[in-house]
Structure 1
């Protein structure tokens, strides 16, 4: 059975400061856990209720009661499995394709969806400002639906990233040139900004090209959600 120490540690992993301190994070959901078990992430602890033990019999797991799982779960209705993994400490530079950069995206659902979009469109590298929500936030991980296993997510000061970047940089702006008329290169950097304020002035200075998604409906319509806008722009990158 699971020790009280592990129950306490998993509960602490709900908070970013403890994830960073312990260099661990947890995921829930049968599909997401299985995705990460078959990835390069290093498993620290696998907790499974008796009901789902047969599905994970090929892995070293500890049985947990449904009552204890509910105490540490981030879900209203726990799925019956929770896994703790080590946070990777190093990342390789990928410049053979497009890189997506996020400037201060704060909503966990948006980040999780964007990671899933990167997986769908084959964008292997996602670079985030240090102010962007933590990719190991339980709500982010839930929204990725396992795609976190296949997308390299990095956090850095964006000025440092751009100072070492040699690829063209496209920024998403409301007043940019319509993306549908752009002759997009085979590799580059696409920057998406904060939900309320867009791309910051500091990051804007690094953008070689300003692009937008043209609006065809009412001028009173609110701007597109950042995840929705990312989906449209990534589709354009892949459409060529």
Structure 2
């Protein structure tokens, strides 16, 4: 089975933050990363070589496609494609504002540099 053109297009669009946010998903590539993420996140789509699928029959995904190395290289955003790539759902969090109103709170979103977080904490 091969990956459809629409899936390839989606995978390439997910390189941009705007599209990841709109779709509510993110792309991951590589055997170790996929194995770790599959324990914590819902996998919508997984494309892997036959060898990887045989070694990892426990991985769950809404849609699993066996692909050749050539097909994987067409989809991959990496220079050297791994054996597997997957699209995972981004977790959705709800903030309980009753807690925030009762005490002093600090909320951070999308901190790019850990040093910035240290500076914020020292200033507080």
TM-score range, shorter chain: 0.7 to 0.9
**Quick check: which one's helix share is greater?**
2
- Tell me: higher relative CO, structure 1 or 2? Use CA pairs within 8 A at least 6 residues apart: 2
Aligned length: 111
Could you tell me which residue of structure 2 aligns to residue 47 of structure 1? Answer: 47
Match for residue 13 of structure 1?
14
| Length-normalised TM-score, structure 1 | 0.40
Q: Please, what TM-score do these two structures have when normalized by structure 2? A: 0.73
Q: 1:82 aligns with which of 81, 85, 92?
A: 85
d(CA) in 2 for partners of 1:129 and 1:62? 32
Rounded Cα–Cα distance in structure 2 between residues aligned with 1:64 and 1:11: 17
**Does residue 193 in structure 1 map to residue 85 in structure 2?**
no
CA distance in 1, matches of 2:108, 2:48: 33
Structure 1 residue 51: Cα displacement:
2.6
Q: How does 1:118-197 map to 2 (within 5 A)?
A: 127-129=108-110, 132=112, 192-193=115-116
| Structure 2 unpaired stretches of 5+ | 97-105
Q: Which residue of 2 aligns with 1:56?
A: 56
Q: Does 1:38 align with 2:11?
A: no
Matches within 5 A, 1:88-107: 88-90=91-93
The RMSD of aligned alpha carbons is 3.0
Query: By percentage of residues, which structure has more strand?
Result: 1
The offset of 1:91, in angstroms, is: 5.4
Question: For the pair shown, which has the larger CA radius of gyration, 1 or 2?
Answer: 1
1:102-150 deviation line (CA, Å, top 9, x unaligned): xxxxxxxxxxxxxxxxxxxxxxxx94446x38xxxxxxxxxxxxxxxxx
Partner of residue 217, structure 1: none
Q: Does 1:3 align with 2:19?
A: no
Unaligned ranges ≥5, structure 1: 94-100, 102-125, 134-190, 209-240
Post-superposition CA distance 1:42-65 (Å, at most 9, x none): 110111112312123233521122
